[in-house]
Amino acid sequence: MQTYTNKALFLDRDGVINHDPGDYTTNLEDFVILPYVLETLKKWYDAGYKLIVITNQGGLAKKLYTEHEVHAMHQYLQGECVFRGFEIEAFYYCSHHEAHNGKCLCRKPGSLMVERALHRFKINPELSLMIGDRDRDVACANGAGVRGIKIETNSKIPLPEEIL
């Protein structure tokens, strides 16, 4: 079995990258990047980590917003990153919600989104980690063999030197 050397920082979106108002972030106007996020992500990128967003977007199943809004938020975030000299490698989102679609394998705490990224980008899970603000984020990471780290909602993402 081949061992990959690529490493990644997987990130939950709402409450980790952008302000989580306590309900759904439904449009670009409400998508507010948290202070220090871009500077912190640049440090992770400069440390050799691929940056990958892993997010549940159950509001799609509830028809609270559309995939167009999700893409607009991700495109805006990517633009802000590129402006600062780095990029997010990929955005993975689950559009399901158990109350509307039943259970699925991709919705966190399921690990399918992380597993897909590990395979696609030839990432070593043992060299990688995931930062989220819910227990389901940690369970998702751990289910894929990635170290999960839970932070407080809407707080600062740890720097590489604070974790490694």
Task: Please give the Cα distance from 156 to 35 (Å, whole number).
Answer: 8
pLDDT digits (tens, 9 = 90+) for 70-114: 999 999 999 999 999 999 999 999 999 877 776 898 999 999 999
Specify the CATH class of 7-163 in words: alpha beta
Q: What pLDDT score does 1 carry?
A: 57
Q: What pLDDT score does 131 carry?
A: 98
**31 near 74, Cβ under 8 Å?**
no
Residue 162 main-chain phi, psi, to 5 deg: -85, -15
**Other Cβ atoms closer than 10 A to 48:** 13
pLDDT digits (tens, 9 = 90+) for 119-150: 999 999 999 999 999 999 999 999 999 999 99
Q: What pLDDT score does 103 carry?
A: 81
Task: Please give the Cα distance from 157 to 38 (Å, whole number).
Answer: 10
Residue 33 pairs with which residues in a beta bridge? 18
In the chain, where are the structural domains located? Answer: 7-163
Task: Please give the Cα distance from 55 to 159 (Å, whole number).
Answer: 21
Active site residues: 12, 14
Q: What pTM value is reported for the model?
A: 0.96
Q: Is the pLDDT of residue 36 over 90?
A: yes
| The pair of three-digit structure tokens given for residue 46, joined into one six-digit string | 């400069």
Amino acid at residue number 18: N
